[in-house]
Amino acid sequence: MIKNLIFLYLISFLITSSFLTIKIEKLKNEIEQSFRYLSDSIYRYQINTINSKVIYGTKEIENILYLTKVKNDETVKDISENFSNFILDSRRNEIVSGNIWTVANIYPKYMFVEPYRKAYERIHEHTDTDNERSYFDYLVGLENIEVNLEKSNLSIYETMKVYGPYTESDTNEELITIYYPLYVNRKIQSILLLDIKYGFFDEFIINFNKRNFSVIKKRR
């Protein structure tokens, strides 16, 4: 699970050290542990959202963006409270801390997103209403996300996808996007998306060096 995370990928070729190799190993372990905690948070969040109440989509829900036209009898999982709690929990995680840019939970017909930015309304550009193809379907195809794990030996977290670094056009923020497909009975239900500022890694290394009196830095 952890070996697929971007941080081991970064460490494998971006870090040099003017100190002992043991410090590098300690840094790897701390990064891995922090992401185990984040993975645990995602798992708890997934369990909670499975049991979320279902309401009619025409009702007002905070931070929701509909990806297709809402019908009067359309039902929506109201994950608002669980979604907010997950964001707070994630921001307490040392590896990402204050570097979370956006969190979104994307379902086939709607998505929850925090913070809500006007630019996200352009997501509809990836929606084909005639064929009922939404932004969710767009991401599944673009990132080659597994929709059914019944015939796969992959664990849920081995299906994680990482994109970036890239520069967000509206804000010029350099980001990395991590997609966590969320499954129920090994069939995809939604996609949890985390946009993280690319500088998070520098910040983590700086704090590590202060705690361990080391001089570890990324190659430029």
Q: Supply the pLDDT for residue 194.
A: 92
The side-by-side arrangement of strands in the sheet containing 161-167 is 64-66, 110-114, 100-106, 187-197, 174-184, 161-167
Can you give the pTM of this predicted structure?
Answer: 0.79
Q: What is the rounded end-to-end Cα distance, in angstroms, of the chain?
A: 28
Give the Cα separation of 152 and 139 in Å (integer). 20
Cα 138 from chain centre: 16
Which of 97 and 58 is assigned the larger pLDDT?
Answer: 97
pLDDT tens digits for 120-140?
A: 777 766 666 555 678 898 899
Q: Supply the pLDDT for residue 3.
A: 42
3-state secondary structure of 137: helix
Q: Supply the pLDDT for residue 92.
A: 84
Helix ranges (DSSP H) in 51-152 = 80-91, 135-142
